[in-house]
Structure 1
Amino acid sequence: MTAKSKTLDGQPVSLQDKWTADQGVVVMNGTQAIARVLLAQATLDRRRGISSAGYISGYRGSPLGSVDTTLWSIARRLESANILFQPGVNEDIAATAIRGTQQLNSVPSARYDGVFAAWYGKGPGVDRSGDAFKHGNYAGTHPQGGVLIFYGDDHAGKSSTVAHQSEQAVAASLIPSLYPADVQDVLSYGLLGFALSRYSGSWVGIKCVNEVAEQTATVELDLDHFQPILPPLLPDVPKEIHIQQASYNPLREEQIVVEHRLPLVHAFVRANRLDGIMIRAETPALGLITAGKSYGDVRAALALLGLDEAEAGAVGISLYKVGCIWPLEPIGIRDFATGQAVLFVVEEKKSFLEQQVAATLINQAHRPWVIGKLDEEGAPLLSSVMPLEPMDIAFAIAARLERLGRLDERMRAQLEALASTSVAANAIAVRRLPFFCSGCPHSRSTRVPEGSLSMTGIGCHTMVALVRPQQALLPTQMGGEGGNWIGLAPFTNTKHIFQNMGDGTYYHSGLLAIRAAVAARVNITYKILYNDAVAMTGGQPVDGPISVATIACQVRNEGVARIVVLSDDPSRHQGNPELPVGVTIGHRDELDAVQQELRDTPGCTVLIYEQTCAAEKRRRRKRGSYPNPPKRLFIAREVCEGVGTARYNRPASVWSPWKLHWVASGRSTNPVATRTTVA
């Protein structure tokens, strides 16, 4: 679709419609839908005569790695809607700021009727923000504000140091969770989530997995008819369901959440049909219960078995889609379970819905079998670890239909075809390990002298654990870099270790780890890899003022005596008056010699390795904001025999912008660097 086009009926259409249209079909991805929820909420409040403002804060990370870039791209639209985007230094500080938006009536001279707020972050950010979440949720929300938590889960661990499933952690803070199955659900659940938060006084979580956050789809906007149902509040509901400025009573706060807010969540979910029966068999036998991504997978599994909705119902299959995965609304589940022989809960990762379903039905006089991760005999059924695929689910459903006597010959034929396809797919499956980008500074900066070891952390540089695993220990959590050496050092004859740390991690929480290492008097060298961008999630800037000189001053003030700066261009730092006295400046070619020197220096030392991310250089050069150096093509004639000679045609598109230099070794030499020390 072009930027300006027309639909089949002649109506103008634009890719900008996702931000401007209140009605009709638009195209957007899951991350853009998060931003659209905020703009839509501002529109709804304005129509209802509510003078509200919006606020969003958090910390980037897959699958929500581009929320900030999306918000920056619509900065003017956010400003015109009174929505403030404030990136968080880290996740828990961002969550605390979100809590502050709901305290609007606790200080005088409020400029708005309320502030609706949203937090975003990935699974590890949920973990580190548990304390902030619980404090904020127990305090409650403003009746014309509301809080959403968009938490990103990387079930497969494909872009994380650990695989994540965060609904248990969110539920531990007694925060309800909605789980969208697609981009349309992100929009719907987002707006319903704000309504639920205002109604119940509770923060509301929205689980976002890769397959939804990164999905692009056509969705339907209909703000004119969006009207959530708010069940009447019972006379005994206290005013404390919403945030109050009152005497501090922690036990009363917990009582309000458990005895009043969570029952209101059940009432809202039931009234607005967030959970619902999608297929009802005339003669129920197998009831499928699922949510989020797995809902789409179950639909795909039924299609693989050759079953549309009518055919699925005819063989006894019913399907229940759960929108609110915690706390599970009990009345709808009990109604769906009536008449079923077996309830099969299909969900990825560890059992979560299944346990709630079982607890809801355990005291029913007539209840079906409840299976999911295990079958009736305790045998494994669906993995609690690996991501589920539609084919896996199709085989599991077919096996249940077989046991119930509902598997017909047509489905058997489908299964045979699926089995042969599965074998062929497994035969060609190849795992490709990630590697440093071409020109990545980490491919050099993460090297250590012979006989030394290093520890990894959060960032692109952690790939050294895949590239050179014999030299690099596995990573800690973000901000914990080097903390494990504090515990390990007293019990080993290894005298020293190197710890890699990205500049983004340093600003996020890493400085505290350096402080701890200084306090513990361990022998460690922090290699702070200053790349001038958060390249792993799209080249965003670090979330605040930071420079090589600032880092050097901060670590010096924390008690680090020996500081070295290495750079691909040392002249950028020579003569810089902002660097503290005694900092040594050198060329990156001196890395090995400098590391050997620091390895023998007692205590905590810091090496700041400064070189801009190669991917970010390419991005900036395309924008004309970074110098474009002379391009040279070096050819090793011993390897590439005959290349460049007259008998070969030169492709103009490759050769014309390059100056060809023949070198015998195929290698270029770097200029000799002179090391200097700030006096």
Structure 2
Amino acid sequence: MSTSPVSLDDKYAAEHGTVLISGVQALVRLTLEQRRLDAARGLDTRVFVSGYPGSPLGGVDLEMARAARFLEEAGVVARPGLNEELAATAVAGTQLLAQVPGRRHEGVTGFWYGKNPGLDRAADAIRHGNLAGTAPLGGAVAWIGDDPGSKSSTVPSSCEPMCQSLSMPLLAPGSVAEVVELGLHAVALSRATGLWAGLKIVADVADATATVDLGPLHENVRSGVPVPDRADRGAPPTLVGPASLEAEHDMLTRRLGLAREYARAHGLNRVTHDAPRATTGVLASGTSYAVVLRALADLGLDEAAMDHLGLRLIRLAMPFPLAYDDLAAMTAGLGRVLVVEDKVPFLEGHLKQALYDTGQRPDVIGRELLTSRGTLGAEDVASALATCLGGDRLPRQAAILSPAPSATRAKRRTLPLVAARTPYFCSGCPHNASTRASDDTLVGAGIGCHAMIALDGNGRGRQVGMTQMGGRRRPVVRPGPLHLRPSLHPEPRRRHLPPLRLAGRTRRRRGRRLDDVQAALQRRGRDDRRAARRGPPRRPGADAVAGGRGGAPGGGDHAGAGDLPRCPAGADRIRAAPRRPPGRGEGTRRGRRGDRADPRRPLRGRGATAAQARQAARGAGQSGGQRARVRGLRRLRGHLHLPVRAAGGDRVRPQDPHPPGVVQLRPELPQGRLPVVPARRASRRDPS
């Protein structure tokens, strides 16, 4: 028996046979299949991919980078976005290239990716793009990562209501193989209707790995995906005034109607099994349909048994928009219909509305038997099916799932819990030490692996709330007009630990962030806010906070809050001021890179120039009054005196080529003004 050679590149390069591929890799292959299909049909197109990574699609950008040589050869451009909204704006722009002179190709297909909360954030950009329309040889598809079980998200999610609000057709793959097939249909649907199309990728599909037979896949694609129409639709509307009303009316009537016709013509929503005298129907979409098949197998119901029980299976590959006439035809003659779906009763509501004015009104059952908690499993669906079909009609092996009285129902034995393992930080993770705080410290949590402090709060301070992505440092936790200072003695230091600082950082900056400088100008109360940083140790010249979260001796061992030296009266924190690297500042010719003004220098000494002070004020986003305040403080720097002492060796990273020469104690001035430290420098050996 001869076997063909197997390569790791088969998941992208193979055109026949069987390949091993994951759900995220199937998305990458989808872009390649789209280009190959267009090239086979003689279409000069390209593909553009942009988005923001987030579970369950957190590895899309990484997998795109690994497959770069295949993507470049096929004409696929992948550019991760700064956030979901800007990425959706870039994808919408690919549909406007026909209006730009000097275009190189007939059309560009755009793919956007992000998790369900990212869809909420990008809703305005997608709504504008959907109203403006798509190009006949372009198309725009949104890969939406759904996490109904909150497996790797702070909140569970379901994208159907948002897609309905955006008037965006949604296709729901139920397996890894269907990701490519329905993804190609999504592109063809977008081109044919002028609408964006969504592709719902549930965590169970994105995280799964399966073997896919490419033969039937290519046959279904060649026979099922239509050739796009090259007819020009004209310039997209300018969404201002009456033009927006016309575009909305066209989207809600003509274009959504074209989407329903596409689903009907290509059999996206269909009956997969029909008994000769069917009385009970089961309707599901996406992964829920796969759960139904698993539940039927657990109950021991094959095709013959389903025919005997009068069972009809209905699969909806496009849950929105739905053609009510088609729903009524697929449920005709049934006495009851069980709707299987996660979370909100989306399909259940549409089915009831479709059957409201018809002569036949079967009982629509959904949330009465199925829970809205988490993700539905095969056991939940099997129990609901046993209730609808009758436990006495089921095979013997399904007796345990039959809703018989507790006295006669088989009892399952529950083993005692030997040990519980709570998720914890990885070995060497800096968040393990940087999130530790005393019990009287207020701590806010946020998106990221450091959110695991909510699972084990011992030694992590007093936790107050959890914010969404991008909401770090913004909750009202400091004394202000809404609440008073806690009456604890000693008074606790209010500090936001990394959960509000580390998540969502888009880039790394040297020294303190500019918005932190602005916040320092506006604060009045004392607070212990330390600079947070991800990744490798700071580069030479960056500010290091003593005992903070930036590097520490040993590369990963950070000092806790209890190890901080006590600040004397009049000082609100201790900062380490690094020496300036050689070749920067004084002694350099104008125009060299080393002549750039350092925005931190006006905060440290008398030698700062007026230009440097103005640059620091502009960089911090200060108003005119704040800049005048800085100029006034600069005139007072000669009258200020602050004692200094040598920097402790345990607070300095030995790998830093420019170690701090002195630790300066920062004063607290009235009216929240920016403190200025004199230029006096002391020798490292000077104990004063």
- State TM-score, norm by structure 1: 0.75
Contact between 2:440 and 2:461, CA under 8 Å: does it hold in 1?
no
Counterpart residue identity of residue 492, structure 1: L
Residue 571 of structure 1 deviates from its aligned partner by 11
Q: Name the SS of the counterpart of 1:307 in structure 2.
A: coil
Q: Name the SS of the counterpart of 2:145 in structure 1.
A: strand
Q: Name the SS of the counterpart of 1:438 in structure 2.
A: coil
Alpha-carbon separation, structure 1, partners of 2:54 and 2:530:
22
Q: Cα deviation per residue 1:538-584 (whole Å; 9 max; x = unaligned)?
A: xxxxxxxx97789979xxxxxxxx99965434799xxxxxxxxxxxx
Alpha-carbon separation, structure 1, partners of 2:377 and 2:115:
22
Q: Cα deviation per residue 1:147-195 (whole Å; 9 max; x = unaligned)?
A: 1111111111121111122221222111111111001111111011000
Percent identity among equivalent residues?
A: 33
Alpha-carbon separation, structure 2, partners of 1:599 and 1:216:
61
Alpha-carbon separation, structure 1, partners of 2:576 and 2:284:
51
From 463, 475, 488, give the equivalent of 2:466.
475
Alpha-carbon separation, structure 1, partners of 2:195 and 2:411:
45
Alignment of structure 1 residues 231-630 onto 2, 5 Å = 239=233, 243-244=236-237, 249-374=243-368, 381-402=369-390, 407-408=393-394, 410=396, 413=399, 415=401, 423-424=412-413, 432-468=421-457, 471-485=462-476, 489-490=480-481, 491-494=483-486, 496-500=494-498, 501=500, 503=502, 505-507=504-506, 521=523, 525-532=528-535, 566-569=549-552, 588-589=558-559, 591-592=561-562, 594=564
Alpha-carbon separation, structure 2, partners of 1:599 and 1:260:
73
- Structure 2: state its 5+ residue gaps: 487-492, 578-647, 653-659, 665-678, 680-688
Matched, 1:137 2:130: yes
Alpha-carbon separation, structure 2, partners of 1:385 and 1:599:
54
1:174 corresponding residue in structure 2: 167
1:220 corresponding residue in structure 2: 213
Q: Name the SS of the counterpart of 1:53 in structure 2.
A: strand
Residue 37 of structure 1 deviates from its aligned partner by 0.5
Counterpart residue identity of residue 672, structure 1: D
Change (3 A) 1:365 1:424: same
Counterpart residue identity of residue 451, structure 1: D
Alpha-carbon separation, structure 1, partners of 2:271 and 2:18:
25
- Structure with higher Rg: it is 2
1:673 corresponding residue in structure 2: 651
Residue 23 of structure 1 deviates from its aligned partner by 3.0
Alpha-carbon separation, structure 2, partners of 1:509 and 1:105:
37
Residue 368 of structure 1 deviates from its aligned partner by 0.8
Alpha-carbon separation, structure 1, partners of 2:292 and 2:104:
48
Alpha-carbon separation, structure 2, partners of 1:53 and 1:599:
65
Contact between 2:547 and 2:558, CA under 8 Å: does it hold in 1?
no
Counterpart residue identity of residue 410, structure 1: R
Change (3 A) 1:496 1:672: closer
1:206 corresponding residue in structure 2: 199
Residue 223 of structure 1 deviates from its aligned partner by 3.5
Alpha-carbon separation, structure 2, partners of 1:320 and 1:550:
65
Change (3 A) 1:514 1:100: farther
Q: Give the aligned length.
A: 565
1:15 corresponding residue in structure 2: 8
Residue 517 of structure 1 deviates from its aligned partner by 5.2
Contact between 1:54 and 1:115, CA under 8 Å: does it hold in 2?
yes
Alpha-carbon separation, structure 1, partners of 2:276 and 2:576:
70
Residue 250 of structure 1 deviates from its aligned partner by 1.7
Alpha-carbon separation, structure 2, partners of 1:522 and 1:134:
42
1:633 corresponding residue in structure 2: none
Alignment of structure 1 residues 17-32 onto 2, 5 Å = 17-32=10-25
Alpha-carbon separation, structure 1, partners of 2:433 and 2:189:
51
Contact between 2:434 and 2:559, CA under 8 Å: does it hold in 1?
no
Residue 593 of structure 1 deviates from its aligned partner by 5.1
Contact between 1:122 and 1:151, CA under 8 Å: does it hold in 2?
yes
Residue 10 of structure 1 deviates from its aligned partner by 3.2
Change (3 A) 1:602 1:227: farther
Residue 317 of structure 1 deviates from its aligned partner by 1.0
Alpha-carbon separation, structure 1, partners of 2:5 and 2:420:
45
Change (3 A) 1:176 1:421: farther
Q: Name the SS of the counterpart of 1:300 in structure 2.
A: helix
Residue 14 of structure 1 deviates from its aligned partner by 3.1
- State TM-score, norm by structure 2: 0.74
Alpha-carbon separation, structure 1, partners of 2:68 and 2:478:
45
Counterpart residue identity of residue 474, structure 2: G
Alpha-carbon separation, structure 2, partners of 1:416 and 1:427:
25
Alignment of structure 1 residues 46-65 onto 2, 5 Å = 46-65=39-58
Alpha-carbon separation, structure 2, partners of 1:251 and 1:486:
44
Change (3 A) 1:427 1:481: same
Alpha-carbon separation, structure 2, partners of 1:606 and 1:195:
59
Matched, 1:102 2:100: no
Alpha-carbon separation, structure 2, partners of 1:400 and 1:118:
42
Contact between 1:528 and 1:606, CA under 8 Å: does it hold in 2?
no
Counterpart residue identity of residue 589, structure 1: A
Change (3 A) 1:598 1:57: farther
Change (3 A) 1:75 1:467: same
Contact between 2:274 and 2:311, CA under 8 Å: does it hold in 1?
yes
Q: Cα deviation per residue 1:339-391 (whole Å; 9 max; x = unaligned)?
A: 100011001112111111111111111121111012xxxxxx11112321101
1:162 corresponding residue in structure 2: 155
Deviates more, 1:168-177 or 1:592-601: 592-601
Alpha-carbon separation, structure 2, partners of 1:416 and 1:369:
20
Alpha-carbon separation, structure 1, partners of 2:274 and 2:569:
69
Alpha-carbon separation, structure 2, partners of 1:456 and 1:597:
27
Q: Name the SS of the counterpart of 1:370 in structure 2.
A: strand
Contact between 2:136 and 2:232, CA under 8 Å: does it hold in 1?
no
Counterpart residue identity of residue 370, structure 2: L
Residue 315 of structure 1 deviates from its aligned partner by 0.5
Change (3 A) 1:571 1:400: closer
- Structure 1: state its 5+ residue gaps: 1-7, 375-380, 534-545, 554-561, 573-585, 609-669
Change (3 A) 1:40 1:587: closer
Change (3 A) 1:331 1:340: same
Q: Name the SS of the counterpart of 2:319 in structure 1.
A: strand
